[in-house]
Every structure is written in structure tokens, then in C-alpha cells.
Amino acid sequence: MTSAILDGVTVIRALGSVDDEVRVIRSSVAIARPRHLSVVRVVGEGAKKTCARVLSGDMLLRDGQVRASLLLDAAGEPLADAFVCNDDDSFLLFTEGMTRAALLDHLRAHAADDTTLEDLSASHAVVSIHGPFAWELLATLEGRGVLGFPFLSFYHAGEGRLIVRAGKTGEYGYDILVPADRADAEVARLLEEGAAFDAREVGLEAVSRCALENWFWNPHTQRGQGITPFELGLRWRVSERPDFVGASALAGHTANVRATAIVASHPIARGDVVRFQDDTIGHVLDAHRCEALGVWVAMALIELAYAYAGIDRYTVNGQSVRTTSAPFVDNLSLHVNPQKHAYARRAEIPFRGAGAGKVGVP
Amino acid sequence: MDAALEAQIARRREILEAIGKVLVEELDVRLPGGVLEPDTPLFGTGLGLDSLDAVELVVAAEQRFGVRLGEGEVAVGLRTVNTLADLVERAQAG
């Protein structure tokens, strides 16, 4: 087992082979413990105003609805990835990318009057399940009613638990918020019931790789000076409200580069320069070898004039790379219909594999 | 940038703009900041299209661009503007 530190918290990076753990996420059910996730409940008459100040995204949320958003700094650069849940007009924030102390300082600094911030990170824990049959494991435990919950919604389950249907791997994903002293028991229960789905616990490196492969923003690797949501292709997480931290900086900002998906048959790494002939046109922000495709995949920031998919004339480290459409992989989850499929009969699902139909490498 | 790359990019940009026009004019999609980001998810998050929009987009893809989506191809082909543009390019290449 290897560990890592994310947001000041020690987490399990991998329990064994990262490639094996990615395969579990992509084919059955993986259980992860994102101990670094911060969870804050924002309560009171000023709760919505506070969230509107600190979150960049649209704040029109029904009770039970979840929205992907961002916390930005005054320069419009992302501080953290955030999912906000409207829980009967109090708001739950699930964030990653900042230490808990920094997050709470930031929230306090921008809180509206009549707002109470409840830090649930010490009293609660998040257990996540990911995979094309994560829904089936959850239905085994919670009843088939869970199948009716749409993506980006949540509900209060029994025993003080809250279940959010979200996920950043491109497969079915659920975050289960449980009282901290019940987290181990929750994982044990999931593994026991999950045996029928070949469920395994995985580390966060596998989750992170699946996130890049499905073009979900990673706050730990995909940021830097001058990089705003516009450079990252995350305008959809930025509302037109003028009242959130970073809004005025973004109002006057024009991006000159765009996050672009790249594939290569040779290793590429963060910081590598992307060239067209002798000209530098960008650099790599994040990369890894994709187990499903057998090639290296990367997010590169490339000058707008060159940032188009389907070009195989750029180079990194002197070797050809190809720009492509994100996401990099096809997901089994897209082909699974919970109304008629099951893990036990997964051979019946018409799925040609994660790389089928995707653009190849030069 | 040489002439060949310019031409390739111009073709791609034309397809992306045409798809953007369909989204805005026929599906009434509001592009964040008025900008088309080609890798923004169309469904679920991103532009937040729904299943009715999916039907309209499939019809538009066939009528405007000659793209016929087979069973099992809709979910994959319509993930983003870029994935749809890939299908259009392939259809145009014959």
C-alpha cells in the first residue's frame, strides 16, 4: 500500500497495482475513501448568499439537487473543486483542493450575516463507490428505489447517512456521507455485499486517473498561475452572476490557451512542452499511461489557434502526439441499463471496450 | 502554422461552429459566456441537455451533417461537441 498527502490529509494512494484498481473502477465496483474531502454545512438565513459569494456556479438548486461548482480566488483562479447540495435550504459543500483550515478561513471571510458554518469533516467521513455496477451494489443495500435518483442528486438514507449520486470517473458513482465512527463498518458492509460484484477497495490514484480519462478537473494537478476556468474549459461551472469571489477578474479575462486532450505512444509528463515544428504552442498539465487504451493520455494547455482535436502534427519531447476529443475512453456505464442489466449477466452487455471507436495514436 | 495545418483547423472549426449553431438556434442552448468549449459535456453536467434534446440532436446530426448514429452510438457520439464533430468529420470523409 502507498499513501499520499492531499489537502494536508494522508490518503491511500494505492492498495496494490494502480492499473488493477483502474480496471476495477471500469468493470465492476470500486470502494474508495477520499479522506481529504472537506464537508461543510452552511446554515441560516444567510446560507444561500454565502454560497453565492464563494461558489462560481449557478445557485438555482432545487431541494435534493447537486451542482458542480468551483471556489475561486480574487484573481479568478480555482482554489477548490466543489459540489453543492441544497438540503432543505441549508447547503452542503463537498470540496477538495484546499486544506480544511484554508477552506474554513475562506468561507468565514466571505460569509454573509446570519450564516453558520458547520465543519462536518471531523464528525463525518465520505465513502465512495465507483463503477458500472455501483448502482447494483447500492440497490442491494438500499433498495431498488435508488435507481430513480438522477445524476447530481442526493437523498437522506438511514442511520444518519446521506447518499450523493455524483462521481468523477465516468462510471456510476456515489458518495456516502456517514458518521465518522461508522465509516469502517460502512466499508466492511460494502465489501461484504460487494463480493457478488467482485468489489474491491481502491486507492485515490486510480480514481484520479479515471477522472483525467473522463476529463473531470483535478484540483491537485490541473492548476497553476494564470490558469482560470476559461483556460481549463470550465466556463460551464461559471455563472454570469457578478457577486462571487473572482467574478470581476473573470469578467475582464480572455483566455489565450485551452485545455486540450492529447494521446501519445511515448511517456509524457506534466511540464513537457508541446511544439508545432520549432514553435512552442503549449505545455502538459497532467498525464499518465492509460491502462484501458495502452497509450499515454494528457491534458495540455495549448494556444487557442492550435487547440483543436484530430491533429497529429504536434510533438512532445521530439515525438508525435495527437490531439483528440475528450473523454479519452468509452465507459461501460454508458451501455449499462439498470432496468435490464446485471453484473451476473454482464457478458450480455454490448460493449466493445474502453478504447473502441476512439482516435488512435500517430 | 503552415497552410496544411491551417486548412485542417479551418475545417474542424467550421464543423464546431455549425454544431454550435444547431445547439443555440434549434435546441435553445445558452452557451456559457457565449463561448463554445468543444469538450464541455452535453448531457448530465456541462450544457445540461436532456433526453428530448438528445432526440433533436440525433435528428439534426442526420439532416444537417449526414451522420447516422446506430444503436449504442448515441451515448458515445453525443458526449461533447467534439465527439459529435468527430462523427461529422468521419461522415464527410466518406
List all residues 6 or more positions away from A1 whose beta carbon is below 8 Å from its beta carbon.
Answer: A12, A14, A15, A16, A203
- pLDDT value of residue A362: 38
Q: Enter the ipTM.
A: 0.94
Q: Over 50: is that where the pLDDT of A70 sits?
A: yes
Q: Over 60: is that where the pLDDT of A94 sits?
A: yes
B5 contacts in chain A (CB < 8 Å): 276, 306, 311, 313
The pTM (predicted TM-score) of the whole model is 0.95
- Residue count of chain B: 94
pLDDT-based confidence at residue A311 (cuts at 50, 70, 90): very high
pLDDT tens-digit readout, A200-248? 999 999 999 999 999 999 999 999 989 999 999 999 999 999 999 999 9
List all residues 6 or more positions away from A33 whose beta carbon is below 8 Å from its beta carbon.
Answer: A11, A12, A125, A126, A127, A128, A183, A187, A201
- pLDDT value of residue B18: 92
Residues A69, A96: Cα–Cα separation, whole Å:
11
Give me the DSSP letters along A121-163: TTTEEEEEEESTTHHHHHHHHH-GGGGGPPSSEEEE-STT-EE
pLDDT tens-digit readout, B32-62? 888 999 999 998 888 988 888 888 888 888 8
Give phi and psi for A80, each to the nearest 5.
-155, 155
Q: Look at A6-20, A305-319, B34-48 and tell me which has the smallest mean pLDDT.
A: B34-48
- pLDDT value of residue A358: 63
B8 contacts in chain A (CB < 8 Å): 308, 310-311
Q: Over 70: is that where the pLDDT of A98 sits?
A: yes
pLDDT-based confidence at residue A357 (cuts at 50, 70, 90): low
Averaged pLDDT of chain B = 88
Quick one: average pLDDT of A139-143? 95
The answer to whether B89 contacts A326, with C-beta atoms less than 8 Å apart, is no
pLDDT tens-digit readout, A234-292? 999 999 999 999 999 999 899 999 999 999 999 999 999 999 999 999 999 999 999 88
Residues A83, A91: Cα–Cα separation, whole Å:
10
Q: Pairing state of beta strands A273-276 and A279-290?
A: antiparallel
Test mutation, B47, B76, B80, chain A, max A CBs within 10 A:
B76
B35 contacts in chain A (CB < 8 Å): 230, 235
- pLDDT value of residue A338: 93
The answer to whether A236 contacts B46, with C-beta atoms less than 8 Å apart, is yes
